[in-house]
Structure 1
Amino acid sequence: MVRARPDSPLLFEIVERPDFSFETSAKAEGLWPVAGMDEAGRGPLAGPVVAAAVVLDPTNIPDGLDDSKRLSHAQREPIFEAILNSALGVAMASVCAEGIDASDIRKASLEAMRRALCGLPVRPRLALADGRDVPPGLPCLGRALVKGDQRSQSIAAASIVAKVMRDRMMSDCGRRHAHYGFEIHMGYATLRHRTAIKAYGPLKRLHRVSFAPFRLEMAEVDESQST
């Protein structure tokens, strides 16, 4: 027996977009302003982890806010400018590769978000953080939202700001270190990047030598020296 194809869309085809409901609920609780926080650059082998904190104006929310990973470069750039021009407050902060190596990427990401929040020109009463963790040491109440960049417009705005700023930083690194192609892969472990590392070695203060590929290479060197 052949089953009729349903007219309604399948659940997995429905893409949820972030809204302002978390912020509206917080405002009703007396928790205003509300800041969204997110970071970019947890996974790359090189470059900083960059975080942003954004307090949106409820009367002037830019169109197209979404998880930065679901937007192309061409889509992110005008939204980034719209956020800067309309938000009540925007701040950015980063932790460099050496700082990441000195702790770990999770702690470095949380610290970058804390610094970004503290740099806001307005003092938030509540900070919404993307992920499972609230950065320690916040000057206000914090709440973590899993997949927050796909649920909260404030976090989505922060994700776009962090991504655009980090991409610009890595593009500048690409101009300074042409052999590595940072402006193309943004420090991620692409074949081109890994090939350049093998050919020219890691760059001091830019490559995260605590990450697995570098640890494995150092282990191989230690083993060869012990024979």
Structure 2
Amino acid sequence: MAYQPPTHSVERSLRATTGAKIVVGVDEVGRGAWAGPVTVCAAVTGLRRPPTGLTDSKLLSPKRRTELAHELESWVTAHALGHSSPEEIDDLGMTAALRLAATRALEGLPVRPDAVILDGKHDYLGAPWRVRTVIKGDQSCVAVAAASVIAKVRRDALMAELGGAHADFRFGDNAGYPSPVHRAALRDQGPTPHHRLSWAYLDGLPRWRHLKRVRTTPEPSELGVDGQLGFDF
């Protein structure tokens, strides 16, 4: 399928129907990782023409993604990042941790948004923010695509830095997501201080499963891709 660049159509619609003047795109990265924070970027782009090749970060090569992120950080009108730590994810659950990270990002902007375009179909933000959810917004909306690329590159760099003291886990390559190397290191060494300890991968580690933290009210989202990624050696 031919490349379809993202547009400002949702932003224009929000401006026309709600009177919003400042519209921000929001996207997250790290939801399905076993280690590291969940990171949210909020980006304000206005209605200017975006850099060539902008799209969902997952569709870009690492080299192009990094180049584009640097370009975007000086191109956007404003942007900010928010993180929720592994401990906060364990304590709060993923939905609340996402809300916390997104709130930190939004409150870190130098301007107060009138409306938020949120990637996906679920509004994990809620009041007091005026939210429009857009499925595949990271491909179709300029501001969300920009947030997607910046969030991915910044979190990847953070994970590479955190991995410096845990070389066998290769966080610089897998960004805390499950991979054969990551799984093998977990099996042999157990979780690092950067791992999420409430997740189901620990059930498959007899030597380390005693470290698992159990919440009394698990979220529905954690019963899917987040919590049941499984462990198959």
Q: TM-score, normalised by structure 2?
A: 0.83
Question: 1-side partners of 2:151 and 2:95: how far apart?
Answer: 16
- For the pair 1:31 / 2:48, whether they are aligned, the reply is no
State the Cα distance separating 1:137 from its structure 2 match: 5.2
- For the pair 1:118 / 2:116, whether they are aligned, the reply is no
Partner of 1:145: 134
Question: 1-side partners of 2:121 and 2:207: how far apart?
Answer: 33
How many residues get paired? 209
State the Cα distance separating 1:72 from its structure 2 match: 1.1
Return the index of the structure with the highest Cα Rg: 1
Q: 1:201 aligns with which of 185, 190, 201?
A: 190
Q: 1:81 aligns with which of 70, 76, 81?
A: 70
Partner of 2:54: 65
Partner of 1:159: 148
- For the pair 1:128 / 2:117, whether they are aligned, the reply is yes
- When the two chains are superposed, the root-mean-square deviation of aligned CA atoms in Å is 2.0
Question: 1-side partners of 2:38 and 2:187: how far apart?
Answer: 23
Range with greater deviation from structure 2 (207-216 or 137-146): 137-146
Cα pair 1:37 1:155 within 8 Å, conserved: yes
Question: 1-side partners of 2:37 and 2:172: how far apart?
Answer: 14
The SS at the match of 1:127 is: strand
Question: Cα 1:60–1:150, aligned 2, differ >3 Å: closer, same or farther?
Answer: closer
Question: Cα 1:207–1:58, aligned 2, differ >3 Å: closer, same or farther?
Answer: same
Partner of 1:168: 157
State the Cα distance separating 1:162 from its structure 2 match: 0.7
Structure 2: where are the runs of 5+ without partners?
A: 211-233
Cα pair 2:25 2:143 within 8 Å, conserved: yes
Give the percent of matched residue pairs that are identical in Structure 1 and Structure 2: 37
State the Cα distance separating 1:61 from its structure 2 match: 2.6
Q: TM-score, normalised by structure 1?
A: 0.85
Question: 1-side partners of 2:90 and 2:42: how far apart?
Answer: 24
Cα pair 2:25 2:117 within 8 Å, conserved: yes
Question: Cα 1:25–1:202, aligned 2, differ >3 Å: closer, same or farther?
Answer: same
State the Cα distance separating 1:19 from its structure 2 match: 1.2
- For the pair 1:192 / 2:181, whether they are aligned, the reply is yes
The SS at the match of 2:176 is: coil
State the Cα distance separating 1:15 from its structure 2 match: 4.7
Deviations 1:122-166 (A, max 9, x none): 111110111122233554311111111111111111111110111
Question: 2-side partners of 1:122 and 1:73: how far apart?
Answer: 30
Partner of 1:103: 92
